[in-house]
Structure 1
Amino acid sequence: MPPSDASIHLVRTLYSEHQPWLLDMLRRKLGNVENAADLAQDTFARILSSNEAGPLREPRAYLTTVASRIAAQYFRRLALERTYLDAIAHLPEATSPSPETRMLVLEALTAVSRVLGGLKPQVREIFLMAQLDGLTYPQIAAQLGLSLNVVQKAMGKAYLHCYHAVYGE
């Protein structure tokens, strides 16, 4: 859905009045102007795509919130990338993935991380124990001191969340 005229006007106003301030705030947070510029642009793009239209009482607080969320995603991606690159650094050169494969894997890891990040911590822990550790629901319940019913409901929530993340319904 294309942005409304009101949304375009809001972003234009926010950009002209607050972009230098936002860029400086992000530069201080990130320590580098290039990444700050990228995240500032992402902030305005996110606001534009959200179709936010009304006037804002506290535009800098709003920009800070949106930019902080984008920065958190950026730092999560950096951490994932570092972990992945550390893991493959020990592989023999002949079996090391190509740069293209590395980028595809990083994109997939980022997408999985984003989906899992949308789960409540206990639901995420239960889901990962079942999916990665291969534990049964009774084993998870015993290990976490929960009832079997709580584990089953948490898994249902996790599966539903994943379904919506993949199929957008």
Structure 2
Amino acid sequence: MSGQSASSLSELYRGHHGWLFGWLRKKLGCPDNAADMAHDTFVKLLGLDVLPTLQEPRAYLLVAANRLLINQYHRRRVEEETLRSMVVLLDHQVQQGPEQIIAVRQLLGKVLLLLLEELEEKPRKAFLMARVDGCSYADIARHLQVSESSVKQYLAKSLAHCHARLFDALPEGLSDD
């Protein structure tokens, strides 16, 4: 971001962050989630090469924040669907003998590792630290030197990736899509 855009973003932040946080707090009902989303909105703007000249800065911020909320909603839906799918797989294992259960779990573990290799480094590390090592979001954030919000996004991205790859690979008729 150029010096001019950075100073414009700084002015935008000082002038509208409190308002955006208040709007998000009313919409989300949670001050912590609202703070994360307000932060993520400005981080998204920071990633722009050039900040456009804004006639209506609050409208622009609302659109940016709403897009992030929609993306978060979609990620959560994919994560929930993935978890439901895993429950179905595990429920079917109950009817099998111990050897089949062990074989299925080993196969799932190998498939998961292969799918995770397709991810970027930070989402992969975050997923493994959370699911294998049992680390908290705060611990993962410190280790990866990112925010807890980024850790949540990495985990959602990892689950969404695995879900998409698994269901794309299923023969027709086996998926619920």
TM over 0.5: yes
Q: Tell me how far apart the structure 1 counterparts of residues 162 and 63 of structure 2 sit (CA, whole Å).
A: 25
Cα contact 2:12–2:57 (8 A) shared by 1: yes
Larger RCO (alpha carbons 8 Å, 6+ apart):
2
Summarize the Cα distance change of 1:54–1:105 in structure 2 as closer, same or farther, 3 Å threshold: closer
> In structure 1, what is the equivalent of residue 56 of structure 2?
58
- Of the three residues 81, 84, 92, the one matched with 2:82 is 84
Q: CA RMSD in A?
A: 3.3
- How big is the shift at 1:105? 4.1
CA distance in 2, matches of 1:41, 1:69: 14
Change (3 A) 1:10 1:79: same
Q: Where does residue 13 of structure 1 map in the other structure?
A: 11
**TM-score under structure 2 normalisation?**
0.54
Query: 1:44, 1:80 → 2: CA distance?
Result: 25
Aligned residue-pair number:
115
Q: 1:50 to 1:86 in 2, by over 3 A?
A: same
Structure 1: segments with no counterpart, 5+ residues: 113-127, 135-169
Deviation at 1:69, TM superposition (A): 0.4
Change (3 A) 1:132 1:59: farther
Q: Distance in 2 between matches of 1:132 and 1:69?
A: 33
Aligned to 1:106: 159
Structure 1 segment 1-169 matched on structure 2, within 5 A: 3-90=1-88, 91=90, 92=93, 95=105, 100=128, 103=155, 105-108=158-161, 133=172
Runs of 4+ in 1 over 2 A off after TM superposition: 51-55, 92-105, 131-134
Matched residues in 1 for 2:74 and 2:162: separation? Answer: 10
- What's the offset of the Cα at 1:62? 0.4
The one-letter code sitting in structure 1 at the alignment partner of 2:15 is E
The CA distance in 2 between the partners of 1:132 and 1:17, in whole Å, is 53
Kept in 2, the 8 Å contact 1:43–1:67? The answer is yes
Moved more, 92-101 or 52-61: 92-101
Verify the 8 A CA contact 2:45 2:51 in the aligned structure 1.
no
Letter paired with 2:159: L
CA distance in 1, matches of 2:74, 2:4: 33
Instruction: Report percent identity of matched pairs.
Output: 32
Q: Which digits, 9 at most, give the CA deviation of each residue in 1:12-68, with x for residues without a partner?
A: 111111111111111222221212111111111111111233431100000001111
CA drift at 1:133: 4.4
1:107 CA drift (Å)? 4.8
SS in 1 for 2:43: helix
- Give the conservation status (yes or no) of the 8 Å contact 2:21–2:38: yes
Unaligned residue ranges in structure 2 (runs of 5+): 94-100, 113-126, 132-154
